[in-house]
Amino acid sequence: MLEVDNLTCIRDDRVLFSELNFTVNRGDIVQIEGPNGAGKTSLLRLLAGLSSAEHGEVRWQGERLQRQRERWHRNLLFLGHQPGVKSIMSPLENLTFYHAEYDDEQRFAALEAVDLLGFEEVAVAQLSAGQQRRVALARLWLSQAPVWILDEPLTAIDVNGVEKLMALFVRHAQQGGMVILTTHQPLPAAVWPLRKISLTAGERI
């Protein structure tokens, strides 16, 4: 269980959100929504333990993230706003770098799942924006982490890719995982039960 307890986030003299409370349980798919600049990325970074809030705390299994960094990182897969892959490496090399525990057969299966077969040896820098995003997303097919925190994973992904990702999110949730994501596009109705947490534009202090 991931608990957000009275979280207040101030950035650049602006209160992005204050006294935010919610809980994410196993089996939950949660969409953080709000206009540009509302604080969605800031919230995801707090949830991932990558930054600190002005007030409040985030707890995993009852304990503050900061008190259990190693355990938390074993339980988390965080994919940030940028593709977050190494551009001089190929897709296959990236998966080897991030997931050395798997063999090539499993890595090829992950690349097949994101329709990158045929591109596995091409430098990421030479791939299209959507293909670069898919290299990062291939990690989801290899991840054993129960908690997925994904910042705009659907950006630059085509309709077919979005459908496959949605199916993967649902399967992950059905297997007891949790998915927390931001996206500006409406999610297909098939993603159920989808919880939404809305952030509104912040106020100046």
Ligand X SMILES: Nc1ncnc2c1ncn2[C@@H]1O[C@H](COP(=O)(O)OP(=O)(O)OP(=O)(O)O)[C@@H](O)[C@H]1O
CB of 148 to ligand X, least distance (A): 17
CB of 48 to ligand X, least distance (A): 13
One-letter amino acid at 24 equals V
Whichever of 39 and 91 has its CB closer to ligand X, that residue is 39
Residue recorded with tokens 């940028």: 82
Whichever of 38 and 179 has its CB closer to ligand X, that residue is 38
Site residues, ligand X (CB under 6 A): 11-12, 16, 34, 36-42
82 token code pair:
């940028």
Q: What is the CA radius of gyration of the chain?
A: 17
The answer to whether the CB of 24 falls within 8 A of the CB of 84 is no
Whichever of 12 and 105 has its CB closer to ligand X, that residue is 12
How is 172-187 classified by DSSP, letter by letter? HHHTT-EEEEE-SSPP
CB of 83 to ligand X, least distance (A): 15
Of 188, 186, 183, 85, the closest CA to residue 133 belongs to: 85
Whichever of 17 and 148 has its CB closer to ligand X, that residue is 17
CB of 30 to ligand X, least distance (A): 15
